[in-house]
Amino acid sequence: MLRLAVALLLLLLALLAPAAADDLYTGEVRVPDQGEAARATAMSEALGQILVKLSGNPAAAADPDVAAALADPAPLVQAWHYRQDVDRSGPTPALVLYLAASFEPRAVQRLMAAAGLTQWARERPQIAAYVAVEDMGSPRLASAGELGPLLRRGNERGIRLEAGPVGEDARALVLAAAERQNLARLRNEAAAAGAPGLLAARLYGTAEGVFGRVSFSDGEREESFEVRAPDRGSALRALADGVADRLAARYAYTAADSEPVAVAVTVRNIRSAADYARAQSYLASLSVVRRIEARAADGETLTLGLTVAGGGERLRQVLALDSTLALGSEGRDGTLVLELR
């Protein structure tokens, strides 16, 4: 009877599973005014921004197979609006105007498929950023306002960058860690924001402009790189581009790599009906999971049959970006074993 109840609950949750988040299908572009000409140009740029977000390819908007859609994006637009904001990245705050346009997901997916663009799953790591900058030769942590170019470019590239939280009693420690790109020393601070990913950078002023050293982690792997730019704002945008390029190289995939594959999964640590619901609801929310079949519920173990775009390896990659289900050992029959946290 319990197993039947669980199966019915899982079926209901599957039907109620949340739809894909649509933030990746919204582009935001700075505009000089609310005139028709500026709006038309911004709509095209917003669609190009979305193609870059979804593919991970910074040159996606230059693909000749999407040129017609970029020339006339109106048929793909769902809604649009203007937004005012204050740009605090420069020496003087400035009021700026943005146009935000949302596009129909299925139409955009068809456009990308026809163009043969790579696909980057919706799941992206949340990354807390700590950047040390110089004022008159003295290093300090850049404020959230000063990180505006980094955060905005991250949004344009489809990655979840945010200014890392800093406790006043830990500011000196955090600054020293950012200067040395010491990610291990920053993990406790980032954990306060629930960010599994980290970015630590030091920007130096040089005779040629700005030079930066960067280390980042998506919660699973760490990488380092350098940037050079004419000014600090450009350097911050280059940091975001460097992170986005490297993440897309790991996680974006071609159509040939996204064929639906059956994957057997065992979920452990299921101690209540709420645990059953949480595990299934989380799996159903993943963009790569196409279908879920409840096969058995025995004690603290739930056995599922999934259909996954890209198969087990793609599922492992996505699961590693979140702490809900931890990867365990693989069963002898190839079953993927997961531990509910």
Give the residue extent of every domain in the chain: 23-117, 126-252, 259-340
Q: What is the pLDDT of residue 256?
A: 59
pLDDT digit string (tens) for 163-201? 998 888 889 999 999 999 999 999 888 877 777 899 999
Which segments in the chain show pLDDT lower than 70? 1-22, 89, 255-256
Fold of domain 126-252? Maf protein (3.90.950)
Q: What is the pLDDT of residue 255?
A: 63
Fold of domain 259-340? Alpha-Beta Plaits (3.30.70)
**Rounded to whole angstroms, how far apart are CA atoms 311 and 295?**
18
Note the residue count of the chain. Answer: 341
**Rounded to whole angstroms, how far apart are CA atoms 129 and 143?**
10
Question: Which of 117, 48, 38, 116 shows the shortest CA–CA distance to 76?
Answer: 48
Q: What is the pLDDT of residue 125?
A: 87
Q: What is the pLDDT of residue 124?
A: 87
Half-sphere exposure of 77 (CA within 13 A, CB side): 22
Asked if 162 contacts 243 with a C-beta cutoff of 8 angstroms, the reply is no
Q: If you write DSSP's letter for every residue of 170-193 in order, what string do you get? A: GHHHHHHHHHHT-SGGGHHHHHTT
Asked if 151 contacts 161 with a C-beta cutoff of 8 angstroms, the reply is yes
Asked if 152 contacts 163 with a C-beta cutoff of 8 angstroms, the reply is no
Coil/strand/helix, residue 16: helix
Query: 126-252 and 259-340: same fold?
Result: no
Q: What is the CA radius of gyration of the chain?
A: 22
Q: What is the pLDDT of residue 89?
A: 67
List the structure tokens of 320: 């590693």
pTM summary value: 0.79
Q: What is the pLDDT of residue 115?
A: 93
